[in-house]
Amino acid sequence: MREHLRPDPDALPALGTNIDRQTGRWTGISVVAFIAGALGVLTNRPAVLLAGVLGVGFAAYAQLRTPPAVSLQVSRTVSTERPDPGEEVEVTTTVTNDGDGRLTDLRLTDGVPPGVDVVGGSPRCATALKSGESVTLSYTIEAVRGGHQFQPLLALARNLPGTVERAVQIECDSSIACVAPLPPVGTFPLRTQTSQYAGQVETDTGGSGIEFFATREYRPGDPLGRIDWNRKARTGRLSTLEFREERAATVVLLIDARDAAYVAPDEDSQPAVVRSVDAAAHAFVSLLAQGDQVGVATLSPTPLWLGPRSDSEHRARVREALSTHESLAATPPTGPFYPSVRVNQLRKQLPSHAQLVLISPMCDDYIASLARRFDAYGHLVTVLSPDPTATATPGQRLARIERQTRLSNLRAVGIRVIDWPAVESLPETLAKATRRLAQ
């Protein structure tokens, strides 16, 4: 489980500002000192009275509430800015006291990117720095898919008695980008809405395919190889064989990356959006291999749109986007999201004949209604849904039943639904779905 390294963001100062606050240290020392002094007077014991007087003096000193002036210079280096998934990245952050005074109690926390685990060393330290002196924090993080921006370093500096601290955030621009390779080619079952290009989606029209479709009367110019000579021998009439044509489809993979999609069975599991990105990568390479035109889009405050294409440049752009685009980060999005605006935008962007593969955990009614709307607009919809539910509590079991009901309702109106269980690999799930459709 990821270690909590930083306080609540609402308690942090804005960049370029300070937050001064009392630490509560030595609270109650004045009361103890006065009690000791009173006991010394009442019992006529000089030693106890002296202790009380010293305590009062120390309490007065402890009430000094002037925070230290903090002026720090921060530099950060990483061993590689383009790591592979799972690769360990060495981070070295150097903090220098750029002010004139000594910082006697300085606590530092480096800004580890959200969603990234520290697997060695520590991004935190407590130290004292003289003017011009430096300290280095060295630690190791494990790279995961995505673009990861380091957060500002947090410094907490306390005055000498420790009664007041000053919190400062210091920016140091650093980032890593972990681009995952596209998965091997597999299968992906599409519905029969196609384009004019040759591909591997079976149509309901005859032509020059490979599977027998029907026979028709001979027309001048028909290829000799498609004439039914057996029928000619029986009836004396010429007829032409037609085969089921296979055409390319135009497909857009729509990834649900709203805040509502960042759900997981437990705290240690990946959010459903991470699995959705894996599913999109698998569908993308599989559909490209079938000869289809494929695009990628997201439902997010920072939407992604890559229109349907099939060339190598498009493949490289999709790979980069699935790994580093901010709408597909491992942490929930920030900022306002206006679903109706995004849906209207998508309707304008989608080619009129495009199919839609909606990849979503289907954890709310809105996304289910959106699938029905796009299907009604004429874009045949296939739902691929990574299952994020659990059964440990009554609430989790209820959420599972509600999700299953949504999927059943979509199937009832003719929308193809592929439910991807957490305990099963995606190729296995897709293979099962393909076999069911072939029966």
pLDDT digits (tens, 9 = 90+) for 113-154: 988 999 999 999 999 999 999 999 999 999 988 889 999 999
pTM for this model (two decimals)? 0.72
55 has a pLDDT exceeding 60: no
**271 close to 263: Cβ distance less than 8 angstroms:** yes
At 41-52, the pLDDT tens digits run 566 666 655 565
Percent of the chain at pLDDT > 70 equals 76
Quickly tell me which residue has 């729509």 as its tokens: 254
Give the whole-angstrom CA distance, residue 312 versus residue 289. 12
Helix H or strand E segment including 147: strand 146-149
pLDDT at 225: 66
Domains and CATH numbers, the chain: 9-15+67-178 (2.60.40.10), 205-247 (no CATH), 250-438 (3.40.50)
Paired with 299 in beta bridges are 256
The pLDDT of residue 230: 79
Burial class (CB in 10 A: 0-12, 13-18, 19+), 13: middle
> Which pLDDT score is estimated for 414?
94
- Determine the pLDDT at residue 108: 96
Q: Average pLDDT, stretch 384-404?
A: 95
Whether the CB-CB separation of 323 and 178 falls below 8 Å is answered with: yes
Lowest mean pLDDT among 57-71, 91-105, 294-308: 57-71
Structure tokens at 199: 């591909």
Q: Under a CB-based contact definition with an 8 Å cutoff, are residues 327 and 257 in contact?
A: yes
**321 and 306 Cβ atoms separated by less than 8 Å:** yes
